[in-house]
Amino acid sequence: MSEPTPGEESFLSHLVELRSRLVRSAIAVLLVFLCLAPWAGFWYDLLAKPMLDALPAGATMIATGVVTPFFVPIKVTMLLAFLIALPYVLYQAWAFVAPGLYAHEKRLVAPLVIASTALFLLGVAFCYFFVFRGVFRFIAEFAPASVQVAPDIEQYLGFVMTMFVAFGVTFEVPIAVILLAKAGVVDAAKLRQARPYVIVGAFVVAAVVTPPDVVSQFMLAVPMILLYELGVVFVRWSASAKDAAEETLPAPREEKSPQRMQD
């Protein structure tokens, strides 16, 4: 059997390191999950609180499957464990890719990763504390008096996860705008020209990913538009700061040609 070439050895070493980073991340999530698992029912009750607050007094949610009351709280607990362990997981990802980055790339990637994570979690929090309260109360008020509202816990979890992802990704709009500007694809002028299309697109996306009610669509589209404007402001400010820095640089000094010696 032939000896592996240096390129193959480097590739194998990267695979081994990737496996090690993934195993560490999985162990971290598992450890957090084991710590949270004894209170799995409490975590689901916390997730279901916006819906329960909107239901009539004494109303509860239902489980139509045999094992649903067990697996749904476990899924919620696993999701919570991943969110708690997310900083460590991101650190492992950063430790894997950082050696292959240039210094200026490291200075750009680290703040973007931190900012994108914070914005995603902010979107999830906005959805939980503000959107759910308005949406569930709006829907409950339109329920006929002859209908007893009793949502299924598994369907509720699927709905909540869809909304969390939708709002988390929506809050990443400034990051996407900044990355496009850094790559030279767009500038502040092009972003301003695209504003009407962004407004229409925001309401189209909101109509697709949210329930068919005006409240949830409005509460997704408006933050998306405002966050786009925030990205435009940052790109314009960054371009102005760059131009100002270039203007303050000293002009290159012209080299004088050596004079001929006089006889």
The pair of three-digit structure tokens given for residue 83, joined into one six-digit string? 């969110």
pLDDT of residue 261: 45
Q: What are phi and psi of 6, to 5 degrees?
A: -55, -35
Per-residue model confidence as pLDDT tens for the chain (263 residues): 455 566 556 778 888 899 999 999 999 999 999 999 999 999 999 999 999 998 888 888 999 889 999 999 999 999 999 999 988 998 898 888 888 878 877 787 888 888 888 999 999 999 999 999 888 888 888 878 778 888 999 999 999 999 999 999 999 999 999 888 888 888 888 889 999 999 999 999 999 888 877 888 899 999 999 999 999 998 888 877 776 666 665 555 554 544 544 44
Domain membership flag for residue 51: yes
pLDDT of residue 260: 45
Tell me how far apart the alpha carbons of residues 46 and 139 are, in angstroms, rounded to a whole number: 20
pLDDT of residue 1: 47
Domain membership flag for residue 8: no
Cα 125 to the chain's mean position, in Å? 11
3-state secondary structure of 62: strand
pLDDT of residue 263: 44
pLDDT of residue 9: 64
pLDDT of residue 210: 84
pLDDT of residue 5: 64
pLDDT of residue 201: 93
pLDDT of residue 2: 54
Domain membership flag for residue 262: no
Tell me how far apart the alpha carbons of residues 81 and 37 are, in angstroms, rounded to a whole number: 9
Domain membership flag for residue 78: yes
Domain membership flag for residue 252: no
Q: Are 25 and 85 in contact (CB under 8 A)?
A: yes
pLDDT of residue 3: 58
Tell me how far apart the alpha carbons of residues 95 and 85 are, in angstroms, rounded to a whole number: 16
Domain membership flag for residue 249: no
Give residue 132's domain range. Answer: 14-243
Q: Per the structure, how many domains does the chain have?
A: 1
Task: Give DSSP secondary structure letters for 111-143.
Answer: HHHHHHHHHHHHHHHHIIIIIHHHHHHHHHHHS
User: 94-130 b/e with 16+ CB inside 10 Å = b?
Assistant: beeeeeeeeeeeeeeeeeebeebeebbeebbebbbee
pTM of the model: 0.81
Give the dihedral of Cα atoms 30, 40, 68, 208; nearest 10 deg.
-80
Domain membership flag for residue 260: no
- Name the residue type at position 109: V
pLDDT of residue 254: 52
Domain membership flag for residue 70: yes
